[in-house]
Structure 1
């Protein structure tokens, strides 16, 4: 018990000399659950695709079918032989 009294006396005398003792506090964590998404508060600027709820997978609907105008403007697909010739050209260089 005398040791405890001695420590508090030294601390009190050091405070009177202009030195302050460091104090640390424990703050509560803002999480309400173990899910990290709970800490994210809505869309953030520059956060990529995750910041735009309209592009999330659960907003997906039927597959996109292009209009006939777009289909007509596309070039015809190349045949297998044309693709093999082109691949050989590119591999030679």
Structure 2
């Protein structure tokens, strides 16, 4: 509760409940993994991951469902993806 009431009014009770229930009490959560945690380093890592993603638009064909009626082409904007080489590089250089 000290963290929640540290003077920053942007946190809500719902966010605190989410932190406790979905993160801290999650069976996969291991507090020992936070031993060398640094928010600046974590943010830089997240920014780097975000930079690896590209936003693109893809055109897809949607079947009409009716025999003899050709599929309709539609655009799907806002599709995020990574290049195959960045995925392979991450697989061989990442900790996992």
TM-score bracket, shorter-length normalisation: under 0.3
Greater percentage in strand: 2
Greater percentage in helix: 1
Larger RCO (alpha carbons 8 Å, 6+ apart): 2
| Larger Rg, first or second structure (1 or 2) | 1
